[in-house]
């Protein structure tokens, strides 16, 4: 039986690999980009570097890391750090295109444009997350348990809300977030966002 535990630094490479293997609307994205590590450098590894206290993994019975949830409790602060401290180390490896056209160029542009204020929903939903699970984890309720673990931590910290984005082609993810009681939020063309507010009064 798989179990959930807090993230450890030794999970870093597994988290990056899981990010790639689930990045194509839930399917394996290996080889889609010229450098597979771009996925993790944008959507997984910076979170465990900045917020290891807001990261949990799914561990298989044999000790493998087979899923994760990572988050920030303050999107604008995270994007400030991402812009100033994280992304500069990748700029030589991932140069910016003058007019991003390909999927890879648009992803690289995403890295260059992270900054405070870029996500208007962060005002009312300041936290955001990324969650990825390998196919072998499905049907065990692990996704819901990861989300509930994070929600409880954020509520305890007094965070008033959380948002997340999904690939519009990932119908399974959309249904999952709807079942969790999350609501659709305004989003840019081609995007799909969900949000949830937390009752922090009890805390």
pLDDT on residue 8 = 98
Answer whether residue 193 shows pLDDT above 90.
yes
Cβ contact 11:48 at 8 Å: yes
Nearest to residue 35, comparing CAs of 123, 99, 95, 120? Answer: 95
C-alpha 71/C-alpha 49 separation (Å) is 11
Kindly tell me if the per-residue pLDDT of 32 is higher than 50. yes
List the domain boundaries for the chain: 3-197
Residue with tokens 């995403």: 110
Tokens representing 18 are: 């899981």
Task: Tell me the whole-structure pTM to 2 decimals.
Answer: 0.94
User: What is the per-residue pLDDT across 158-170, written as a single tens digit (0 to 9) for each?
Assistant: 999 999 999 888 8
Structure tokens at 158: 């007094």
Tell me, what's the pLDDT at 168?
A: 86
Is 122 in a helix, a strand, or coil? helix
Residue 166 or residue 20, greater confidence: 20
For a pLDDT cut of 70, what percent of the chain falls above it? 99
Q: What is the mean pLDDT of the chain?
A: 95
In angstroms, rounded to a whole number, what is the distance separating the alpha carbons of residues 143 and 58? 9
Q: Could you tell me if 20 and 30 are in contact, meaning their C-beta atoms sit under 8 angstroms apart?
A: yes
User: Which residues make Cβ contacts (< 8 Å) with residue 183, sequence separation at least 6?
Assistant: 194, 195, 196
Residue 14 tokens read as 């597994």
What's the confidence (pLDDT) of residue 127? 98
Is-contact 48 19, C-beta < 8 A? no
Q: Would you state the pLDDT for residue 201?
A: 67
State residue 1's pLDDT score: 86
CATH class of domain segment(s) 3-197: alpha beta
Beta-bridge partners for 65? 59
Digit-coded pLDDT (tens) for 90-140: 999 999 999 999 999 999 999 999 999 999 999 999 999 999 999 999 889
Distance in angstroms (rounded) separating the CA atoms of residues 60 and 4: 9
**Mean pLDDT in residue range 14-28:** 95
Q: How high is the pLDDT of residue 203?
A: 47
Q: What is the pLDDT of residues 33-45, one digit of tens each?
A: 999 999 999 999 9
């Amino acid at each position: 039986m798989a179990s959930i535990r807090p993230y450890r630094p030794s999970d870093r490479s597994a988290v990056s690999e899981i990010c790639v293997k689930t990045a194509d609307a839930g399917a394996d994205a290996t080889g889609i980009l010229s450098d597979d590590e771009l996925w993790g450098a944008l959507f997984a590894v910076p979170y465990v570097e900045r917020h290891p206290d807001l990261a949990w993994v799914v561990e298989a019975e044999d000790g493998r890391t087979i899923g994760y949830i990572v988050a920030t409790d303050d999107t604008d602060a995270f994007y400030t750090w991402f812009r100033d401290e994280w992304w500069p180390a990748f700029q030589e490896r991932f140069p910016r295109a003058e007019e991003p056209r390909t999927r890879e160029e648009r992803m690289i542009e995403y890295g260059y444009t992270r900054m405070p204020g870029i996500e208007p929903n962060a005002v009312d939903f300041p936290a955001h997350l990324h969650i990825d699970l390998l196919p072998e984890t499905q049907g065990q309720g692990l996704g819901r348990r990861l989300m509930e673990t994070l929600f409880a931590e954020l509520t305890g910290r007094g965070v008033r809300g959380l948002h997340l984005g999904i690939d519009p082609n990932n119908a399974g993810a959309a249904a999952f977030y709807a079942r969790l009681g999350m609501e659709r939020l305004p989003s840019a063309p081609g995007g799909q966002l969900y949000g949830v507010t937390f009752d922090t009064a009890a805390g």
